[in-house]
Structure 1
């Protein structure tokens, strides 16, 4: 039986984004994190859970699949639909992205799809949300933003980027869905791990809400054009990334809201920074969405003032970037 996501009777559709939980050893910190995640899901009652990468800390782990299964068990235990994309830490050990993606597809409440042939990475797929008025009322794109740059660090940066064939795949899917919607682009969101270079632009030159706790966002030095493609297609209203544990801001950049999740594990900062999740709420038939942060202590934050701490030392920045 085919799985399908649907808007509720009241026309809403809610997503909880968990990012960078880095499941590894089941010790006290991880048990506390898991309890927090379950508490947020019980409070928010989402229609979909999305992991935006670094689901596990696989480097040196004797069996990273065991850690990944613990992550899968969080939404599975509550019978909540879920899907995941991968980050740089997911496949630093003995497991591959292809293996993790195949594993998530075996779970009954997982809604991810097999990879399209000939597209770079693993975990590229699109999900649609059915509505009362239209069979397909919204679209959710998931892209593998890779891990580390395949080129020399001094020349092309440290982190990977969304590749040209992935962008071509996205535009083909967008054209297809727009065509089936009578020529009108579907209200859409996009999820990936490593932020786009435009996340730096929106903080430096736009209006943002939330925090950036380092001098920059750890985006790739290569701008492969994914943001421009989304502008051209006219469907994506917002993007959701992780990777930078101390950032949780969002801002509108040329009509697309670029959003960070709230780290679900340690932020590696030298001050208190509660873990949590980002929550996203769509409304059927509307080209907009609401979003807020749900923190470990139960606090809900929306449109908090822009904040960038002063006087960060190079040592603190280095710790943050690990």
Structure 2
């Protein structure tokens, strides 16, 4: 299969976002995991996306005998579909018994996986960019950035890790290079797991477009400036995260939409009906459309 992403002939490109799949905690989870797999397979069939993206916490690892087994189960619907797919890691994927490098190797066993380990000198594993070419091929029309938002912060700080300065500058460097090549910023989306502090700010001071907030925003205590760099670079239209299972809202702040996915896995906390977020890009336009596809078939736009 070609690993080149392209817009459809009608000028659209559809992404299906799974988040917080949480496979295999070993505690009464077998039926829940099977339920999650069945849901993902059904959502893939209903939406037939051009790309499937997992935004972290694909599996449990703490206290789990074989985290790789849960991880393989989490990606199995994407692998089975034969469609292109990509992923970033969450804070629970590699807490214990497995490394990010090992799980990246598992992903790369799939011929349809587009994820990359990323530059070795950067913080985290899985910092990479995927271009989307025009329907006719050859000309890059949009960009997808993927960043590793880490796990836990050092104990003297507490809370969750942040996207580090070297990752921020890597993004800015790639963005600057692509803008120079194409003489203007290309429309772009960014995917990572843990929400930025701006996800809290947009709820209080920005423009909330849609969705629910049933829990606090579990952002890092440190702000490494990624959002400011995205605003400065002018390419990113929206960011997509998971992590907070009972939030699914979208808000706009300083020209960028901050979007939560919808929790997909049944083997974790959360009162929101399980499902996935769908994102549709339009070739040649700086715009996107998004909706939620829920387990009962409901579509929320």
Give the TM-score taking structure 1 as reference length: 0.89
Q: Is 2:222 the partner of 1:222?
A: yes
Aligned to 1:311: none
Distance 2:247 2:38 in 1: 23
Displacement of 1:132: 3.3
Displacement of 1:151: 4.2
Distance 1:148 1:117 in 2: 20
Displacement of 1:175: 1.0
Q: Deviations over 1:38-86 (max 9, x none)?
A: 1111000000010000000111111111111111211111111100100
Give the paired residue count.
Answer: 295
Aligned to 1:207: 207
Aligned to 1:165: 166
Aligned counterpart in structure 1 of residue 110 of structure 2, from 100, 107, 110:
107
Q: Deviations over 1:218-258 (max 9, x none)?
A: 00010100000000100000000000000000011110000
Displacement of 1:213: 0.6
Report the secondary structure of 2:259's partner residue. Answer: strand
Distance 1:2 1:114 in 2: 19
Aligned to 1:141: 145
Distance 1:261 1:108 in 2: 26
Distance 2:276 2:263 in 1: 7
Q: Is 2:29 the partner of 1:32?
A: no
Q: Is 2:241 the partner of 1:241?
A: yes
Distance 1:11 1:184 in 2: 20
1:5-84 superposed matches below 5 A? 5-24=5-24, 25=26, 27-84=30-87
- What stretches of structure 2 of length at least 5 have no aligned partner? none
Q: Is 2:130 the partner of 1:127?
A: yes
Q: Aligned-residue CA RMSD in angstroms?
A: 1.4
Give the TM-score taking structure 2 as reference length: 0.95
Distance 1:18 1:67 in 2: 15
Distance 1:23 1:287 in 2: 36
Contact 2:195 2:243 in 1 (8 A): yes
Aligned to 2:96: 93
